[in-house]
Chains A and B, each alone.
Chain A
Amino acid sequence: MSWITRLRGMLRRERLDQDLDEELRAHLEMRAADNLAAGMSPGQARHEAQKRFGNTTLLKEDTREVDIIGWLDEVARDFRHALRMLLRNPGFTVVAVLTLALGIGANTAIFSIINSVLLHPLPYHDPDNLVMVWESNSQHPKLHNTVSPPNFLDWQSGNTVFSTMAFVFDERDNLTGNGEPQEVVVQDVSANFFSLLGVDPIIGPGFTPENGQPGHANVVILSYGLWKERFASDPAIVGKSILLNGHPQTVVGVAPQNFQWFIKDGSLTGAKPQMWSPFVFPQSFHDHKQIGRFITVVARLHPGTTHSQAQTQMNAIASRLEQEYPDFDGHWGVNVVPLRQQISGDLRPALLVLFGAVALVLLIACANVSSLLLARAASREREMAIRTAIGASRWRIARQLLMESLLLALIGGGIGVALAVWGTNALLAASPRNLLDLRFVSMDLFVLAFALAATLLAGLLFGFLPSYISAHSRISETLKEGGRGSSSANRRAFARNAFVVAQLGLALVLLTGSGLLIRSFVRLIGVDPGFDTGHLLTFKIALPRSKYGTDPRCLAFFQQLLARISAVPGVRSASMESFPPLTGLGAATGVHLLSQPSLALSDLPVADVGVVGPDYFATMSIPLHAGRLFNTQELAQEKHVTIINQAFADKYLHGVNPLGQKAAIYMKSFAENEIQPSEIIGVVGDVHQIGLDTSPEPTVYWPHPELVMSGMTILVRTSNDPFAMVSAVRKELQQMDPELPMAAVATMDQLLADSLSRSRFTMLLLGIFAAVALVLSAVGIYGLIAYSVTQRTQELGIRIALGAQRRDVLRLVLGQGTRLTLLGVTVGVLAALGFARLLSTLLFGVSATDPITFAGVAALLGFVALAACYIPARRATRVDPIVALRYE
C-alpha cells in the first residue's frame, strides 16, 4: 500500500531529506565529471551542471511533497466526505455527539481525579521506596496503629531493610507575637525527616543532624502557606525568631509549595501541618513502661529491598520485642504499608467503582451510537451498493464509514473534554473538604491522552460493526430488494437487538450499584449518633504549658471559661471533652476490672478514655442508663470515679452490675502499683466516636480532675445558629487570655456531614451515572422500536386493513419491546450479582445481593423501557392502511 510508504515518509522525514540531498549531489557531481571529461574547465563544468538543475530548492520541495501529500490527500478526502455526511443528518449527528460527549466526558472527569489521587507522583524523592511502619494488635481491628517511641528505637537499631527511619507526631501550638495569636498545627519530627523524604526547603538550610541533639532543637521549618499568610512571604525570614507556646524558635527554612505530610491514620490533630520542628526523645521515651503509642513512622527502603522483605524482617523484630516486653508488646506486630497505598487507601475503592461505572456509561453510549449508525447504514445501503458496483473496494467503504465514526467520536470527545473540565470543577466544588486534595486535580497531558485514547477506542468500538456489515453486504441483493430483507439487513437487526439488550443489562448493573449505595446511605443517616448534633458549636483550646504549667491552673482556667461561656445569652449550656465524637482520634488504653482476674497489660480489655467537663452528658444529650452523673466535688477534685458507656458494660461485664465496681485505667502510667482504681458510678448511652458507620467502642469517662489535659474541645449548645455565637464566645476567651486562639471552629452538624461526605459523594456520582445510563438505554430501546415500526409500516397497514384491532397492533409492537426488556433485565441481574460484590467495601447495613434493591431497580428499568416502547407502539396503532399500502 503506497500510503504506508508515505506515512513512513512522514515519520522519517529527516532521513528522507538526507537521502534526497545525497541523491541530487551524486547527480550533480557525475554531470560535472562528464563535463570536465568533455573538456570544460572545472568551474564551467560545475556551473553547467548546476544550471541544468535549475532551482534546486524547488526541485527538492517538489520531490519531497510527493512523499507525503498523496497520503494526506486521501485522508482529507475521506474526512471532507465524512463531514458532509454528518452535516446532512444534523439530528443524528447531534444525538450521537451528545451521547458520546456524555460518555467520554464522564470518563475523563473521573480519570482526572484518579490520575491525581492514585497515579500522580508524590512530591517526595523516589516515593516508591517510602513506606509507613505501623504497629497493629492482633486483638484489635485497627491495622494502622501509631507507634511507641521505645519500639521505634528498637526497630531502628534492629533492622537492615531500611536505609533511614523517621518519626512524626503532630500537636497544636500557639503562635504569638507579630499579630493575632494563632493556633498552628506543628509536626514534631526527627531531624532526618526532610532528608529522608528527599525534600529541600525553598529557602534556608533546613534541619541539620545537629538539630537532633538535645539543646539544638529550637528551630522550625514553615509551610509555604503559613510563610505566605502570616509572614507575607518575607524573603528574609530565615534566621528570624518566632514565639511558639511562648518559646523562641529560629526559622531555618520554608517548605516547597507542593510539600505536605498528612497521614490521617496517625494524625492526632486531624489537620495538615503548618510548621515542622525537630523533636529529641527525652529519657522517658526510651522506657516501655513510661510512654504510650503515638508517633507515626515513615521509612525508606534500601534500594532493591521489597516491601515483603521489609515486612518479614519487621515481623521477626516484633516477635522478639513481644518476648522481651510481654506486658507492653504482647499481641503487637508490625505492619509495613507502601506510602502510595497509605495515602490513597481511603478513596481507592470508591474511585475504582466510579471508574468502572463511567466505563459502563461509555459502553452504553457506544452501543447507542452504534445502533444509530446501523439504522442509518440501512438507509444508505443503496449508496454503498452503488459505490461498490462502480468499483470501490470493501476496505474503501469500511474505511469511509470508520472515518465517519472517528469524526463523530472526535467531536464528541472534544465536547466531552470541555464537559469534563467543567464537571471536574463542579465535582471538586461538591466534594467535601478532606476528601480530595484540590491542588492536585488538574487536566494534564496524561489526562488528555487518556481522553483521546478513550475517544478513538470508542470510535472504533461503535464504528466497527456497522462498517463491517455495510462493507460485506451483497450488492446484487441490495440493488434488487431496495435494502430490505437482505442478509445485511438481518444482520443489522440482530446487532441492534443485541445492543439494546446489552444496554439494558449494563444500565441495570449501574442502577443496582447506585440503588445499593442509596440504601446504604439511608441506613447510615438513620443511625443514631448517640447524642444531639443540632445547635452544637465546637472549637479547640490548647493551653501552652509554659503559661499554664500546673494542673490546678489548667483546671481552673477551663472551669472559669465554661462558666463564662454558659452565661452568654443564647448559650443553653457549655462543656468540654478531650476527644469528642466525630472530631478525629481518641485515646484508648487497657482497663483492669478488679473483680476480674489480673492479666498482662496487653491482654486487658481496651476502652476509649474520654475526659469531660461539667454538664458534659447534659450538653451532649447523652442519656444516663444507670447510676448517676459526676457531682460538683468530683468535677472539682480527683475523687477516683468513672462513668462507663453501655458498650463497655455489654462487652466486658456481661450482665454483672457495673455500679460500684473498681476499674484500674492504665492511662497515667503502665505500672499497676502507681494506679489508683476508679469506681464506676454510672452507665451512659453509646456514642459513635469515629463515624456513623463504625460501631461505638467501649468507653470510660473521667471528670477533668482525674486527668488534667491542657488541650480540650469546648462544646457549646446554643438556642439558635451556633455560628452566630462565635464572636460572643471569642470575646469571653480573649478577656481571659488575649493570646489564646480558638481553633477548628465547627458545628457538630458540619462534622457529621463531613464524616458522611465520602458516602454521599460516591452515592451522588454513581446515582448521576446510573441516571445517565437509564436515559441512554431508554433512548436506545425507543430508537429501535421506533425504527422497526417505520420499517413495518406496510405490514402493519395490511394487518389493520385485514381487521387487526388497535389492541392487537399494540400487543404486536410492545411484544417485541417486552421480550428485549426481559432479556436485558435478566442479563443485567446476572451481571449485577457479579459486580455488586465489588461494592461491598462501600456498603453499610445492606447486603451486596439485597433482594429489595434488585427487585426495585429491575422494576424501574422495566417500566422505563416499556414506557419508551409505548410511544412508537401508539404511533403504530394510528397507521393509516391506505397510506401504508402506498408506502413503497
Chain B
Amino acid sequence: MLKPKNDLLQGTLVLLVLKTLARGPLHGYGMTLHIQMVSKDILRVEEGSLYPALHRMEQDGWVGAEWGISENNRRARYYRLTAKGRKQLAEEEKNWDRLTQAVAHVLQFA
C-alpha cells in the first residue's frame, strides 16, 4: 500500500518488469538483458532503479522471489509473476494504452 509514484519512468519500469516476467521467472540481470534486447537497445534499465523496484513489487505481492541456479551455474535470485501481479500487469497495460492514446491525441491536436 505504497503511495503511487506519479513519475512516468517509475510506472514504466514496473510495467516493463511485469511484462518481462509474464514470459517466465527470471533474475534481475536477465531482465536488464531482455528489456535491452527486445527494445533494440533503446531502453536501458538502470540497476539503481531496478532492485528497489523489484523489492517494492515483492512487498506488494506482485512478484515472488526464490533462489535458483542461473544458466551458467550461478546462484541467483529468480523473480516470478504472482496472480496479483498478473492482475496488476493488465491494469498497468490498460493505463499505458490510455496514456499513450492521450498523448497521441494531444500530439494530433496540438
On A, residues with C-beta under 8 Å from B are: 2-3, 5-6, 9, 19-20, 22-24, 26-27, 29-31, 33-34, 52-55, 58-59, 62-63, 65-67, 70, 74
Contact = CB atoms under 8 A, between A and B. Distances in A.
A53 B49 CA distance: 10
Given A19-B77, A22-B75, A70-B1, A27 B28 contact: yes
Contacts of A9: 59
Contact of B48 (A3, A30, A55): A55
Contacts of A31: 29
Interface stretch (B7-15, B50-58, B90-98): B50-58
* List of 7 A-B pairs having minimum Cβ-Cβ separation, nearest first: A62-B52, A23-B77, A26-B76, A27-B29, A30-B29, A66-B55, A63-B52
Contact of B72 (A6, A33, A58, A65): A33
B7 to A, nearest CB: 15
B28 A59 contact: no
A27 B75 CA distance: 10
A315 B107 CA distance: 104
Interface string B37-80: 00000000011100110111011110000000010101111000
B2 A70 contact: yes
A52 B47 contact: yes
A73 to B, nearest CB: 8
Contacts of A19: 77
A62 B48 contact: yes
A29 B74 contact: yes
B59 A54 contact: no
A34 B32 CA distance: 13
A5 B59 CA distance: 6
16 contacts: A2-B59, A19-B77, A20-B51, A22-B75, A23-B76, A26-B29, A26-B74, A26-B75, A26-B77, A27-B47, A29-B74, A30-B27, A30-B72, A33-B72, A52-B47, A70-B59
Contact of B59 (A26, A30, A52, A66): A66
B83 to A, nearest CB: 15
A798 to B, nearest CB: 49
A62 B46 CA distance: 13
A58 B47 CA distance: 11
B48 A27 contact: no
Nearest to A6: B59
A67 B48 contact: no
A785 to B, nearest CB: 43
A30 B56 CA distance: 23
A13 to B, nearest CB: 13
A67 B1 contact: no
Given A23-B77, A54-B48, A63-B55, 12 more contacts: A2-B61, A5-B59, A5-B61, A34-B33, A54-B47, A58-B48, A59-B47, A59-B52, A63-B52, A66-B55, A70-B2, A74-B1
Contacts of A70: 1-2, 56, 59
B75 to A, nearest CB: 6
B55 A30 contact: no
Contacts of A23: 28, 51, 76-77
B2 to A, nearest CB: 5
A17 to B, nearest CB: 12
A6 B2 CA distance: 12
Contacts of A66: 52, 55-56, 59
Contacts of B70: 26, 30
Given A53-B48, A63-B55, A27 B27 contact: yes
Nearest to B77: A23
Contacts of A33: 72
A509 to B, nearest CB: 46
Contacts of A22: 75, 77
A74 B2 CA distance: 9
Nearest to A30: B29
Most buried by B among A27, A63, A65, A70: A27
Nearest to A19: B77
A34 B60 CA distance: 32
A153 to B, nearest CB: 72
A59 B51 contact: yes
A266 B76 CA distance: 73
Contacts of A6: 59
A23 B70 CA distance: 12
A319 B75 CA distance: 77
B34 to A, nearest CB: 13
A555 B93 CA distance: 112
Contacts of A63: 51-52, 54-55
Contact of A26 (B27, B48, B56): B27
A393 to B, nearest CB: 11
A34 B46 CA distance: 17
Contacts of B47: 24, 27, 52-54, 59
A75 B70 CA distance: 39
Contacts of B59: 2, 5-6, 9, 66-67, 70
Contacts of A20: 51
B10 to A, nearest CB: 12
Contacts of B77: 19, 22-23, 26
Contacts of A55: 48
A9 B60 CA distance: 13
A34 B36 CA distance: 14
A397 to B, nearest CB: 15
A57 to B, nearest CB: 11
A33 B33 CA distance: 13
A22 B29 CA distance: 13
Nearest to A34: B33
A333 B47 CA distance: 84
A59 B50 CA distance: 9
A30 B76 CA distance: 10
A59 B55 contact: no
Contacts of B29: 26-27, 30-31
A6 B77 CA distance: 19
A59 B48 contact: yes
A3 B1 CA distance: 9
Given A2-B1, A66-B56, A70-B2, A24 B51 contact: yes
Most buried by A among B1, B60, B70: B1
A26 B28 CA distance: 9
Contacts of A2: 1, 59-61
A75 to B, nearest CB: 12
Contacts of B27: 26-27, 30
A55 B29 CA distance: 17
Contacts of A52: 47
B110 to A, nearest CB: 36
